[in-house]
Structures are given as structure tokens and as C-alpha cells.
Copies of this chain bind each other. A is one copy, B any other.
Amino acid sequence: MTTTLKKPQRSARKPKGDGHMRRGEILQAAERIFLAEGYQGATIRKIADEVGVSSTALYMHFRDKDEILLEICDSAIQLLLKQNSEISARPIDAVARVRLMLDAYITFALENSNAYRLVFCAEGGMVSEDKQTATEALGDLCYDKFVGAVREIGASGRLRTGTVESAAQAMWAACHGLVALLLTKPNFHWAPTSELRGVLLDGLFYGLVTD
């Protein structure tokens, strides 16, 4: 009880955390909560509490909540981009590269489900539209890498149907649909995930690409 503190035990004000290091702390805390509890679960207050700072303080470092979470998503998507770059540099058949990319995409989505949802399923009040621009640019880079490989397939005349763009987008859409449904409806009586992936990709390639 007897307080030996000069200042009464009051504010416990967090010391300055000079410069951008506080920013990193916030991102770290936000990431923990966001990954565990998703977009709605990661509230400004919870993040601030975890850092040990008032909720207002977060607005010193970020414009709003979405800026925090999108920055987290950015670094997740960087990972996907890196994978795509790495794959597109491999000296193997373009078809194999496209397949590897789609496979990596699915794995990425399932492993980074909350980031994936925020970026690719965001709607309904989240992330109003334009704020995503930075993140979307990253996504576009991933898409470009992917389309580049599909274009090679098209250039060698092995696209069974559609244009390069429509074939690429159809492949993307199909994979997105699989992971989106798996994430959204985890309780549905799905066939084993690996089988689903196989059937979808096999069918897609057989249907869109000639040997």
C-alpha cells in the first residue's frame, strides 16, 4: 500500500517509444489479434490495450483502422508475390509454372485466411473501396506474374479456349472460389481438401490447356 513512488501510481503513461518503433509495436499487436480474431475482432481499443496505450494514440501512427490492418495484409501478400516471382523464374514449362502458382495461391489463402479474406473477400462495410489501393497494387503485381505465365501458354498456342486474360481470370476465379467457400463454410461436408484441389486444378488445366 505505502507507495514509494514519487508520482502516485497514476497514469502509468507509456514512455515515448521514440519514433517509428511504437508503430512497429502497434502493427505487431494488431497482427496477433487480427490473425486470431479477424477483422471485426481486431478493434482499435483491443490493439491499443495490448500495446498499453490509449486508443487515440493509434491515430498518431495510422490514419484509421483499415490502414493498420491493410498494412498487415500487405506484408502477407508480399509473401505471395515473392512466391510467384520465384516460381515464374524457374526454368520449367509455363504450364507447370501456372499450376505451381495456383497451388501456392490456394495454400497461401488457407494459411493466411484472415489477410486473404480482408483483401479478396472484403465487402460489407470493410475497407470502403479506395483505401485498398496500395494493397491492390500488390495484388495486381501477383496477378501480372501469373498472367505472364499464362501468356506464355497462349503464345505457344496451347490455350484450348478463351483469351489469355479470360483464361487467366477463369483460373484465378476458380481457385478463389474454392478457398473462399472453404473459409466461409468450414462446416459443409466438403470432400477432402487435397482431393478438391486436385480435381479442380486437373479439370481446369485439362479443360483450358492442350498438352
Contact = CB atoms under 8 A, between A and B. Distances in A.
Interface of A: 38-40, 117-118, 120-126, 160-163, 165-167, 169-170, 172-178, 180-181, 183-185, 189-192, 195-196, 198-200, 202-208
Contact of A162 (B40, B163, B195): B195
Tell me how many chains of this kind the complex includes.
2
A164 to B, nearest CB: 9
A120 B184 contact: yes
The SS class assigned to the A binding surface is helix
B166 A195 contact: yes
Contacts of A176: 177, 180-181
B181 A173 contact: yes
A203 B163 contact: no
Contacts of A175: 177
Contacts of A124: 38-40, 117-118, 121, 124, 126
Q: Which 9 A-B pairs have the closest CB atoms?
A: A177-B177, A207-B207, A203-B207, A40-B125, A162-B199, A174-B174, A166-B191, A206-B207, A176-B177
